């Protein structure tokens, strides 16, 4: 653009802007300095979240749902939350099936013999200990598999590919997750003897991404595994050579009824026991391949730390309830059990953290329509953390979802998901993937939300700072 033209545009635009700034802009929203101080203290000094996620991942490790490891995690949680000064710390148990992984391996038998890395998907059927051998049949997507005649699939091992790439909002997980979620059922109904999918992940490491799937519509369970992205790409190259490809697949696993899990609940009691409460949390269970640092040790750590910062500041009007949900990964068992027991209670907000620990970049809440004044106050107080309001956002969260469906108003704080699916559900989901500075930004954001929605914090005698 020519400078003269640009100048003319600027001049012609100027009066309109000036006019609007005087007459029609809403009054400025100024954040209460006490809330700003709480936010900035959490951002600069929080140690609670790191302390929780470091302790949980180090002292418990992996926490597969309904196993003895998850039970140890609940014991750890009760001790930790009690030591931090929370009230009403208790476990609410529930029953569920338990699925555990056994021996697993895969190799190409012909035409180019070689090992392929693999991990079973949740609720996979089991191969016999010696494994199965079958010809591979390739599909570019679940839709391609669905369109195939049964005769193309029967007696074979199905391989389903996809094309997920990293995005900030993680939008690909829904669509590109179909091979994992629906692929095994469709393959089984068409008579396949096994199924392997390209991992629902965006990294290029040799780590398979596990995750849950269910056999529905009467499909009989068949062995179902995930291949790391580089191994899936290797398999595509091998298949492109045009010769029949035979795979030997061993995926031993066990499923049984009669497992036990539970939700761990803790509170910062409000001054008014009848005021609608603030429900926040994350999930305590993890997949079994790693220590579940980003999924979801970080989520329980962030929300617990935020509640603790309010506790340190004094007594909120509303009760803050923190839930470390059990058994989210195999299908949201903890969230459903919680809603069954507590869905009819009155909530001022419900929200969860379950998308890692990178910076929160936007938020959305039902309050944008039901309570615009509070929405603008949240937006103003979160803006210094780099968090934008998202007017079109939706409720999310497996754990608080059923409680939201029962009527609780929701808030979603969205972390940057660009690198989330690099480690999600892999052996790489470990503590070193958490950036302590970004973790503190998360704590600051949740602390701000709690402070604004608390109904006011009455400073009393200081709580001792216990860890
Ligand atoms: Zn999770």
pLDDT one digit per residue (tens) for the chain, 467 residues: 444 444 444 444 444 444 555 567 777 899 999 999 999 999 999 999 999 999 999 999 999 999 999 999 999 999 999 999 999 999 999 999 999 999 999 999 999 999 999 999 999 999 999 999 999 999 999 999 999 999 999 999 999 999 999 999 999 998 999 999 999 999 999 999 999 999 999 999 999 999 999 999 999 999 999 999 999 999 999 999 999 999 999 999 999 999 999 999 999 999 999 999 999 999 999 999 999 999 999 999 999 999 999 999 999 999 999 999 999 999 999 999 999 999 999 999 999 999 999 999 999 999 999 999 999 999 999 999 999 999 999 998 999 999 999 999 999 999 999 999 999 999 999 999 999 999 999 999 999 999 999 999 998 655 544 44
Number of neighbours of residue 5 by Cβ within 10 angstroms:
9
pTM metric for this prediction: 0.92
pLDDT, residue 28, reads 84
Q: Where are the beta strands (DSSP E) in 121-236?
A: 132-139, 157-160, 194-198, 224-227
pLDDT, residue 143, reads 97
Number of neighbours of residue 372 by Cβ within 10 angstroms:
11
Label residue 92 left, alpha or beta by phi (over 0 means left) and psi (-120 to 50 means alpha): beta
pLDDT, residue 271, reads 98
- At CA 434, angle to CA 69 and CA 61, rounded to 5? 15
pLDDT, residue 20, reads 54
Long-range CB contacts (within 8 A, 24+) of 389-397: 389/362, 389/363, 389/364, 390/362, 390/363, 390/364, 390/414, 391/364, 392/364, 393/362, 393/363, 393/364, 393/365, 394/364, 395/366, 397/335, 397/351, 397/352, 397/354
Q: Measured in angstroms, how far is the CA atom of residue 283 from the centroid of ligand 1? A: 6
Helix residue spans in 46-171 (DSSP H): 48-59, 68-83, 142-147
**Among residues 70, 267, 328, 352, which one is catalytic?**
328
HEC string of 411-455 equals EEEEECCCCHHHHCCCCCCCHHHCCHHHHHHHHHHHHHHHHHHCC
pLDDT, residue 8, reads 42
Q: Measured in angstroms, how far is the CA atom of residue 69 from the centroid of ligand 1? A: 17
Q: Measured in angstroms, how far is the CA atom of residue 6 from the centroid of ligand 1? A: 50
Question: How far apart are alpha carbons 87 and 73 in whole angstroms?
Answer: 19
pLDDT, residue 78, reads 99
Q: Measured in angstroms, how far is the CA atom of residue 101 from the centroid of ligand 1? A: 19
**Who contacts 405 (Cβ-Cβ below 8 Å, separation ≥6)?**
339, 343
Q: Measured in angstroms, how far is the CA atom of residue 328 from the centroid of ligand 1? A: 7
pLDDT, residue 14, reads 43
Q: Measured in angstroms, how far is the CA atom of residue 420 from the centroid of ligand 1? A: 11
Q: Taking a C-beta distance cutoff of 8 angstroms, is the pair 327, 369 a contact?
A: no
Q: Measured in angstroms, how far is the CA atom of residue 85 from the centroid of ligand 1? A: 26
373 closest CA partner among 76, 115, 114, 26: 26
Chain centroid offset of residue 354 CA: 3
Q: Measured in angstroms, how far is the CA atom of residue 253 from the centroid of ligand 1? A: 22
pLDDT, residue 15, reads 45
Q: Taking a C-beta distance cutoff of 8 angstroms, is the pair 324, 77 a contact?
A: yes
Active site residue 233: no
Q: Taking a C-beta distance cutoff of 8 angstroms, is the pair 267, 242 a contact?
A: no
Question: How far apart are alpha carbons 222 and 194 in whole angstroms?
Answer: 5
């Amino acid at each position: 653009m020519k400078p003269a033209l640009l100048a003319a545009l600027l001049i012609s635009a100027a009066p309109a802007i000036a006019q609007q700034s005087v007459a029609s802009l809403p009054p400025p929203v100024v954040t209460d300095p006490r809330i700003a101080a709480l936010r900035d203290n959490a951002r600069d000094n929080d140690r609670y979240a790191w302390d929780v996620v470091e302790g949980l991942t180090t002292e418990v490790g992996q926490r597969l749902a309904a196993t003895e490891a998850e039970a140890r995690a609940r014991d750890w949680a009760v001790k930790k939350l009690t030591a931090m000064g929370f009230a009403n710390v208790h476990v609410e148990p529930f029953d569920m099936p338990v699925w555990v992984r056994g021996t697993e391996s895969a190799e190409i038998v012909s035409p180019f013999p070689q090992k392929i890395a693999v991990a079973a998907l949740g609720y996979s059927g089991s191969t016999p200990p010696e494994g199965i051998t079958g010809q591979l049949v390739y599909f570019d997507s679940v839709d391609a598999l669905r369109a195939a005649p049964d005769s193309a699939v029967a007696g074979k091992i199905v391989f389903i590919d996809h094309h997920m790439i990293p995005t900030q909002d993680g939008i690909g997980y829904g669509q590109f997750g179909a091979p994992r979620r629906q692929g095994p059922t469709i393959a089984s109904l068409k008579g396949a003897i096994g199924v392997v999918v390209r991992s629902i992940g965006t990294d290029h490491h040799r780590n398979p991404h596990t995750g849950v799937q269910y056999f529905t519509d009467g499909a009989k369970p068949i062995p179902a595994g995930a291949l790391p992205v580089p191994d899936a790409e290797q398999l595509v190259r091998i298949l492109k050579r045009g010769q029949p490809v035979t795979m030997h697949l061993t995926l031993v696993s066990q499923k049984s009824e009669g497992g036990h899990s539970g939700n761990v609940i803790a509170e910062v009691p409000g001054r008014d026991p009848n005021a609608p409460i603030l429900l926040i949390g994350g999930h305590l269970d993890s997949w079994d391949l790693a220590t579940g640092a980003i999924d979801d040790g970080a989520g329980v750590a962030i929300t617990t730390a935020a509640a603790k910062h309010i506790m340190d500041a004094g007594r909120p009007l509303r009760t803050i309830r923190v839930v470390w949900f059990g058994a989210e990964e195999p299908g949201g068992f903890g969230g459903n059990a919680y809603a069954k027991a507590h869905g009819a209670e009155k909530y001022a907000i419900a929200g969860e953290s379950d998308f890692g620990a990178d910076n929160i970049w936007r938020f959305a809440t039902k309050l944008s329509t039901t309570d615009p004044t509070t929405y603008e106050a949240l937006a103003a107080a979160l803006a210094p953390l780099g968090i934008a309001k998202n007017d079109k956002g939706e409720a999310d969260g497996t754990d608080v979802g059923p409680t939201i469906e029962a009527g609780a108003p929701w808030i979603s704080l969205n972390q940057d998901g660009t690198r989330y699916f690099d480690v999600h559900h892999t052996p790489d989901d470990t503590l070193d993937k958490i950036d302590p500075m970004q973790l503190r930004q998360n704590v600051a954001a949740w602390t701000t939300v709690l402070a604004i929605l608390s109904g006011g914090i009455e400073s009393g005698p200081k709580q001792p700072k216990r860890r």
